[in-house]
Amino acid sequence: MSIKIAIVEDQQKIIDRLIQRLSFFDDIEILFTASGDKQAIEYLEKLSPADLPKVILMDIEMPGKSGIELTAIIKQHYPEIDILIQTVFENDEKIFKSIQVGASGYLLKDDPIQKYVNAIHELADGKAALSPLIASKVMNFVKKSTQSREEKAKETQQEFSLTDREIDILKGIVEDLTEHQIGEKLFISHHTVRTHIKNIYKKLHVHSRASAVRFAISKGLV
């Protein structure tokens, strides 16, 4: 039985090249090609559930909705379709975003056609959607993003001269804990908590819990 696929790509020469190269593989059937989001959705809506493609080769950069945006839409309405993002160059942030919205992986447009075929077969066989390479890229991006947030939070803490204890108190405020609850959590008296809160308000130039919470969240302190 052939594997049904579709191609969503705004450059006709790339579509033609893929059609030509994939035509050598009898077990892969191209159901349709689309030049953008509207055309792709129109084609999918015309198909019965049994006739939907198993895999869509999706260009990441297109006029109108990007491949990432279109992937999110398709996965919402057709979760059974696997999507392979096609990109000209590796971009960890965009790869991470595409995986976040449901893409099963990515291919570089200059990858050999056998790599395309292997990826299509792996998805059709129900194998792990994320290859070790892609999983590694995603984890590296998450790690970098986390480090970036932590560095920003540390800079803000230093800029406003907040102590580690005051950060703990601020987290309690964001969690909407009372002074007594914060005290119990940190093993200090509620009087000490109240003193810390006054100092926090003074350092951040705020006058209420709500303002302190907005500041903490906007600066990534919690």
Question: What domains are defined for the chain?
Answer: 3-138 (3.40.50.2300), 160-218 (1.10.10.10)
Cα 154 → chain centroid = 25
Mean pLDDT, residues 197-211 taken together: 90
- pLDDT by residue (tens digit) across 64-105? 899 999 999 999 999 999 999 888 877 777 877 888 888 888
Whether the per-residue pLDDT at 151 is higher than 90: the answer is no
- Over pLDDT 90: what percentage of the chain? 58
Instruction: Identify the residue with better confidence: 167 or 133.
Output: 167
Mean pLDDT of 121-140: 66
- The confidence band for 129, taking pLDDT boundaries of 50, 70 and 90, is very low
Query: Distance between CA 74 and CA 59 in Å, rounded?
Result: 14
Distance of CA 143 to the CA centre of its chain: 13
**H helices of 37-163, where?**
37-46, 67-77, 92-100, 113-124, 132-159
What tens digit of pLDDT does each residue of 4-40 get?
999 999 999 999 999 999 999 999 999 999 999 999 9
CA dihedral 107, 111, 112, 116 (to 10 degrees): 0
